Amino acid sequence: MPWITVIIVVYNGASYIEDTIQSTMQLSYSNIKIIIIDGGSKDGTADIIKKYAQHFYYCVSEPDKGIYDAMNKGWEKADNDSYVVFLGSGDKILALPDMAKHSGNNIIYGKVFIGNNTFNSIADFRLKLGNTVHHQALLIKKSIHPLPPFSLDYPVYADFDFNQRLYKSGIRFIKDDSFCSYALEGGVSAVKNKKESLQIVNKNFGKLHSLMANIYYFLQDARKPQ
């Protein structure tokens, strides 16, 4: 069975980090490595992390340049032949897919529960327009992109940029409905930055798709209850 590397990134997340660590340790899948990247927390997070240090494949607490810098650090430490998934403080993997069914699949994704809502990730043409896949239920084999994947030019949607680049390269995203996670409400991408998102679409797929994305965002906003 392949190894799964769970990378937990945190900064001043003392209220939730223990739940995330414990839930990861309690997953029934045996081949799991946990990496903790703490951005030099000052609220007691580091003390909580130390309690579980013996269970981690790698752990560091030091200042960084933000969430995607932390995620890049974790990616660097993951083994090339492992599947990587990212969590933040308060996030949890509820159920992993049956990895025996995914021999040869490089990307597996599932659904994410956010508060009382369910985010059903989609990896089709809509990924050319918006970030339709959430990282809490996204397993990516590191060997398909050994170098750190997240551009610090995009402080809100660097994961969207990476997802688009993977999709553009022709790598198949395989959906598995048994794979589900919980994401704590809030976080960096909870604050919408349409300008940055459109810049990413334009870079990866051109001006026409950027125009289509702008319309797509307008229609999404129009559907939201007032």
**What pLDDT digit, counting tens, does each position of 119-150 carry?**
999 999 999 999 999 999 999 999 999 999 99
Domains identified in the chain, total number: 1
Cα angle, residue 123 at apex, residues 121 and 126 outer, rounded to 5°: 95
Identify the pLDDT of residue 12.
96
Rounded CA-CA distance 116/134 in Å is: 16
| Residue 77 in tokens | 């430490």
Residue 166 CA to residue 106 CA, distance in Å, equals 10
Range of the domain at 28: 4-188
What span, in angstroms and rounded, lies between the C-alpha atoms of 159 and 104?
Answer: 23
In a domain, 196, yes or no: no
Rounded distance between C-alpha atoms, residue 90 and residue 49, angstroms: 14
Predicted confidence band of residue 188 (pLDDT cuts 50, 70, 90): low
- Asked if residue 127 is part of any domain, the answer here is yes
Residue 129 lies in a domain: yes
Give start and end residues of each alpha helix (H) in the chain: 17-25, 45-51, 67-77, 158-168, 194-205, 207-223
pLDDT tens, residue by residue, 52-81: 999 999 999 999 999 999 999 999 999 999
Residues 152 and 158: their CA atoms lie apart, in Å, by: 7
Contacting residues for 91 by C-beta, under 8 A, at least 6 apart: 8, 20, 136, 181, 182, 183, 184
Q: 27 lies in a domain?
A: yes
What is residue 24's predicted lDDT score, i.e. its pLDDT? 98
Burial level of 188, CB count in 10 A (0-12/13-18/19+)? middle
- 221 pLDDT tier (thresholds 50, 70, 90): confident
Q: How confident is the model at residue 17 (pLDDT cuts 50, 70, 90)?
A: very high
Question: pLDDT higher for 222 or 118?
Answer: 118
pTM over cut 0.85? yes
Grouping H, G, I as helix, E, B as strand and the rest as coil, residue 184 is coil
Q: What amino acid occupies position 102?
A: H
The answer to the question of residue 220 being in a domain is no
Average pLDDT over residues 151-162: 97
212 in any annotated domain: no
Q: Cα separation of 193 and 60, whole Å?
A: 30
Give the mean pLDDT of the chain.
94
Q: Would residue 194 count as lying in a domain?
A: no
d(C-alpha 107, C-alpha 151), whole Å: 20
Q: Is the pLDDT of residue 226 over 60?
A: no
Which pLDDT belongs to residue 61? 96
Pairwise CA distance, residues 163 & 140, whole Å? 10
Per-residue pLDDT of 189-203, as tens digits, reads 556 799 999 999 999
Distance CA 17, CA 147 (A): 27
Classify residue 139: in a domain, yes or no. yes
Instruction: Indicate whether 108 pLDDT > 80.
Output: yes
Query: For position 122, which CATH number holds?
Result: 3.90.550.10
For the beta carbon of residue 111, count every other beta carbon within 10 angstroms.
19
